[in-house]
Amino acid sequence: MASVIFRSSPLTKSGTEPRLKTPGQVLSPSTCSPEPSRFNFSLGDGSAFAFFFGFPFPLALALVLAFALCAGWLLLPSQARAEAQTGAQTGAPTYAQHPAALAFVAQLAKREKLSEAQSAKLLDTLGQAHFLKSVPPLMLPAPSSTAKNWALYRSRFIEPKRIQAGVKFWRQNQATLKRAQARYGVPPEIVVGILGVETLYGEHMGRFRVLDALATLAFDFPAEHPRAAERQAYFQKELAQFLLHQMPAQRLGSYAGATGLPQFMPSSLVQWAVDFDGDGRIDLDNVKKPADAIGSVAHYFQAFGWKPGQPTHWPVQIDKDRWQQPENEDKATLLAPDILPSFSAEQMASHGVNVKLPQTGDPKERLALVELQNGSDQPSYVAGTDNFYVITRYNWSSYYAMAVIELGEAVAKAIAVKDPIQTKYKPR
């Protein structure tokens, strides 16, 4: 088994990598919460966080932060910028004598049956972690009055700079993308879409010390968060993976602890990262040699049930007159399972939604009605397939999934126009 480039032998009782039991228990690569309400932190320093479906900042601030998608970490709040830039040099307090941190290491050592020397090493590493004052506020949810806006969200990702960067990435890594598709069944446009949305193909992978970020969220998660206990427990598990696998204290990533081109959290690095270039190590940070990142993303999707050849969604036509009738519950019924495919096209039609399946489409295929709100304008709707749902295992957001899909399609279309033989992309 290939070694991960950032660690030596893991500190576990068996000497093997600790793994979660089933795919359903695995957290998404760059999430801040477990199933079923995970968030994902794109562009390293969380500059895209404001555009995820929860919109954690008021819309006015979100518009300002939108420019961070191109400018990266520079548009973070000044304090966050300073902490990301200087890490341990900020003079912030460490967790060396923090009571919760000491208890955490003691419990971890007992659970993993670590030796006294191994326990001391964990404690020494955790003692190097610094509290980041700017990070906890970034975890707070959006005010309930904040409107979701797919058109705005989409415009931050499906834009010329990102498409051009995607074309360049695809051309430079065409053979690797094809090999990933052959092995895992995931088409190039999905992998290209993920890496483009996450880090702009490695341009924005984060400037926070992961150790600092994880420790801050593990021991000082904001108590006013509605699910603070659950989220804090999640970050403690991620911190445990970081420490047990001896990831370096100076490793950089997002303010939520996600790293590399695909923004994997520590548990996902352990569970899903692969040595796809066969050099004997796993390196998700190498922008010049992104084979491991490409293979790891494809591997993740395969594990969560990607179906080769299945589209991600179908267009729909809504019977608005029917939906607007008093006491009509069709919309509520179709949206009740959220984005879990639960209805056939015939069942959706009985609730006023005509799914525009092609002649080759499977009428028995389970679908989900996906609603994308557009602020004060009418929402957009599509019928999501199982593959759409799989994309949301990377990030529990239909907005994110559509951005990944449409960015990948835009890149594929751009390549098809200039180099038709390089892609089999056919406009929907």
Q: Are residues 222 and 327 in the same domain?
A: no
Give me 101's structure tokens: 């941190």
Token pair recorded at residue 401: 């999934």
- Within-domain flag for 396: no
Q: Is residue 410 part of a domain?
A: no
For residues 169 and 66, state if they share a domain.
yes
- Of 256, 281, 303, which closes a domain? 303
7 domain residue, yes or no: no
Same domain for 296 and 320, yes or no, is no
CA distance 365 to 311: 11
- What's the CA gap between 314 and 365, in Å, rounded? 11
Q: Looking at residue 89, what is its pLDDT? A: 54
**Overall number of domains in the chain:** 2
- The pLDDT of residue 14: 32
287 and 326 share a domain? no
pLDDT digits (tens, 9 = 90+) for 65-115: 443 433 444 445 445 555 554 455 567 899 999 999 999 999 999 999 999
Asked if 218 and 331 sit in the same domain, the reply is no
Cα 161 versus chain centre, distance: 21
Same domain, 296 and 190: yes
**343 and 280 share a domain?**
no
Angle between helices 291-303 and 188-199 (to 10 degrees): 110
> For residue range 224-278, what is the model confidence (pLDDT) as tens digits?
999 999 999 999 999 999 999 999 899 999 999 999 999 999 999 999 999 999 9
Q: Spell out the per-residue pLDDT of the chain, length 428, in tens.
A: 454 554 334 444 333 333 222 232 334 565 533 332 333 334 443 334 333 334 444 444 443 344 343 344 444 544 555 555 445 556 789 999 999 999 999 999 999 999 999 999 999 999 999 999 999 999 998 777 678 899 999 999 999 999 999 999 999 999 999 999 999 999 999 999 999 999 999 999 999 999 999 999 999 999 999 999 999 999 999 999 999 999 989 999 999 999 999 999 999 999 999 999 999 999 999 999 999 999 999 999 999 999 999 999 999 999 999 998 988 999 999 999 999 999 999 999 999 999 999 887 788 899 999 999 999 899 999 999 999 999 999 998 999 999 999 999 999 999 987 654 444 444 44
294 and 367: one domain? no
Three-class SS of the chain: CCEECCCCCCCCCCCCCCCCCCHHHCCCCCECCCCCCCCECCHHHHCCHHHCCCCCCCHHHHHHHHCHHHHHHHHCCHHHHHHHHHHHHHCCCECCCCHHHHHHHHHHHHHHCCCHHHHHHHHHHHCCCECCCCHHHHCCCCCCCCCCEHHHHHHHHCCHHHHHHHHHHHHHCHHHHHHHHHHHCCCHHHHHHHHHHHHCCCCCCCCEEHHHHHHHHHHCCCCCCCCHHHHHHHHHHHHHHHHHCCCCCCCEECCCCCECCCCECHHHHHHHCCCCCCCCEECCCCCCCCHHHHHHHHHHHHHCCCCCCCCCEEEEEECHHHHCCCCCCHHHHHHCCCCCCCECHHHHHCCCEEECCCCCCCCCCCEEEEEEEECCEEEEEEEECHHHHHHCCCCCCHHHHHHHHHHHHHHHHHHHHHCHHHCCCCCC
* Residue 278 included in any domain: yes
Q: Is 224 a domain residue?
A: yes
Same structural domain for residues 87 and 213? Answer: yes
Residue 173 covered by a domain: yes
Q: What is the pTM of this model?
A: 0.81
Same domain, 181 and 269: yes
Q: What does the buried/exposed string (b/e) look like for 4-43 if buried means 16 or more CB atoms within 10 Å of the residue's CB?
A: bbbbeebbeeeeebbeeeeeeebbbbbbbbbeeebbbbbb
Among 145, 186, 194, 213, smallest CA distance to 375 is for 145
Indicate whether 277 and 327 sit together in one domain.
no
CA–chain centroid gap for 59, Å, is 22
Q: Which of 268, 303, 338 is the last residue of a domain?
A: 303
Q: What pLDDT, on the 0 to 100 scale, is given for residue 84?
A: 55
Q: How many residues does the chain have?
A: 428
Q: Which of 83, 112, 198, 238 is catalytic?
A: 198
Domain that holds residue 213: 14-94+129-303
For residues 178 and 278, state if they share a domain.
yes
Query: Which residue, 258, 278, 303, sits at the end of a domain?
Result: 303
Is position 203 annotated as part of the catalytic site?
no
- Provide the pLDDT for residue 90: 61
In a domain, 270, yes or no: yes
